[in-house]
Amino acid sequence: MNLLEEAVNELLPESYHHLSAKEMSKRVQAIRQKFGEALFIPCHHYQKDEVVQFADSIGDSLQLAQAAAQNKKARYIVFCGVHFMAETADMLTDDTQKVILPDLRAGCSMADMADIYQLEQAWPRLLERFGDTIMPITYINSTAAIKAFVGSHGGTTVTSSNARQIVQHALTQKKRIFFLPDQHLGRNTAAELGIPLDEMAIWNPIRQELEDVQTSDDRLQVILWKGYCSVHQHFTLKNIAAIRKNHPAMQIIVHPECPYEVVQAADMAGSTKKIVDTIENAPAGSEWAIGTEANLVGRIIQAHPDKKIVSLNPFTCPCMTMNRIDLPHLLFALEKLNQGEVIHQIQVDKQTTTDALAALNRMLAQS
């Protein structure tokens, strides 16, 4: 097969759009049964219900990274999440285990905001200005190349579940951190650790310069890459004010990818896992407004009919790239596998893997 034929061969055939959900589910189930433990389907909490029903493991980014690292039995890992998660799974599994992303268009707009070439330009400039005083830290929502750069420069990855303890530890090792690519998680985490906002500045990767510098270079502790999550950025102070006015008994819990003012005005903030656990453990009759991805909020509402739960922003959308993994794409990838063909494999090269693993393993050792 030449490259063009290969690309066409991997495109979802039109016929899959005409199958009923029942038919697709039956066929997915049959393949899962046939493969048994040789097939592992991890799903992020933000995936659609039609996909989550087939999850062997459902979790947030940290839990899925840990599940991939621990699984030694599966020959095929069909990852229902986004591209950086599938890359991470590939790096954390053996060479014999193949990771498949059912739709290659399932990326992450935040991860795309940090380009390795921008980082390679930024780093020497920061070293020139601040000397060897900076620990690079990247949110796991970043490309393998960014993780590799961070790993080979003594840094670590974080997820929203462990950012606080890892940033705290990093600041005992170096005077300042350079946090990529989510400025909101970086700012919220540093603020939680008591670092004043004026000791943080923003690195603009397009202009290649520091913005919002409000202190002397000597006092600057946190440099935030100017990236954000297009889903969580949409929760606002107006949304909080509307809940306080219309549902005064409601508690508001938000993800730390939300802007600083929103996290400050909410009653609680925490990773996807913390949000799921908090609602799980809340008493019947309690009332909640949740500021995170819409598929997950919808599922939490369904799972807790004894509680009154709404989305903090009633007009919020699901993460569009997470949503690209749907039942037709999952079925197509599995049926190809069943025919002996691996499509949409995510494979990170050896050198990148070695360097990125340095960052990932530092994180996993502290989690």
Residue 313 contacts ligand 13P per CB under 6 A? no
Can you read off the two tokens belonging to residue 214?
């409000």
Which residues from 106-125 bind ligand 13P, rule CB under 6 A?
108
Q: For 305-331, b where at least 16 C-beta lie within 10 A, e where not — what string?
A: eebebbbbbeebebbebbbbbbbbbbb
Q: Report the distance separating Cα 146 and Cα 152, nearest Å.
A: 10
The one of ligand SF4, ligand 13P, none whose footprint includes residue 60, by CB under 5 to 8 A per kind, is ligand 13P
Choose the binding region for ligand 13P from 112-120, 159-167, 233-241, 301-309 (rule: CB under 6 A): 159-167
Q: By CB under 6 A, name the one of 40, 60, 144, 279 that touches ligand 13P.
A: 60
Closest separation in Å from C-beta 153 to ligand 13P = 23
Residues 6+ apart with CB under 8 A from 286: 251, 307, 308
Residues 6+ apart with CB under 8 A from 44: 58, 59, 60, 61, 64, 80, 81, 82, 85, 322
- Number of residues in the chain: 367
Which residues from 122-181 bind ligand SF4, rule CB under 6 A?
141
Distance of CA 224 to the CA centre of its chain: 17
Residue 162 contacts ligand 13P per CB under 6 A? no
Residue 239 contacts ligand SF4 per CB under 6 A? no
Strand 209-211 to 200-204 pairing: antiparallel
Residue type, 157: T
Q: Report the distance separating Cα 27 and Cα 22, nearest Å.
A: 9
Q: By CB under 6 A, name the one of 118, 143, 160, 188 that touches ligand 13P.
A: 160
Q: 291 with 253: CB under 8 angstroms?
A: yes
Judged by CB, which is closer to ligand SF4: 54, or 139?
139
**Eight-class DSSP state of 162:** T
Choose the binding region for ligand 13P from 153-161, 192-200, 237-245, 309-317 (rule: CB under 6 A): 153-161
Judged by CB, which is closer to ligand 13P: 24, or 68?
68
Q: In what order do the strands lie in the sheet with 251-254?
A: 268-269, 251-254, 287-291, 308-311
Q: By CB under 6 A, name the one of 88, 142, 159, 188 that touches ligand 13P.
A: 159
Closest separation in Å from C-beta 307 to ligand SF4 = 24
Which residues from 271-290 bind ligand 13P, rule CB under 6 A?
271-272
Closest separation in Å from C-beta 319 to ligand SF4 = 3
Can you read off the two tokens belonging to residue 41?
């389907």
Closest separation in Å from C-beta 224 to ligand 13P = 17
Q: Report the distance separating Cα 66 and Cα 366, nearest Å.
A: 12
Residue 157 contacts ligand 13P per CB under 6 A? no
Choose the binding region for ligand SF4 from 28-36, 65-73, 107-115, 149-157 (rule: CB under 6 A): 107-115
Which residues from 54-93 bind ligand SF4, rule CB under 6 A?
82
Phi first, then psi: give them for residue 83, nearest 5 degrees: -55, -45
Closest separation in Å from C-beta 111 to ligand SF4 = 6
Residue 156 contacts ligand 13P per CB under 6 A? no
Residue 204 contacts ligand SF4 per CB under 6 A? no
Residue 141 contacts ligand 13P per CB under 6 A? yes
DSSP letter string, 180-208: ESBHHHHHHHHHHTT--GGGEEEEETTTT
Q: 300 with 276: CB under 8 angstroms?
A: yes
Choose the binding region for ligand SF4 from 156-164, 204-212, 226-234, 332-340 (rule: CB under 6 A): 226-234
Q: 256 with 231: CB under 8 angstroms?
A: no
Judged by CB, which is closer to ligand SF4: 143, or 221?
143
Q: By CB under 6 A, name the one of 97, 143, 189, 321 that touches ligand SF4.
A: 321
Return residues touching ligand 13P (CB under 6 A): 60-61, 108, 141, 159-161, 229, 257, 271-272
Return residues touching ligand SF4 (CB under 6 A): 46, 82, 108-110, 141, 229-231, 293, 319, 321-322
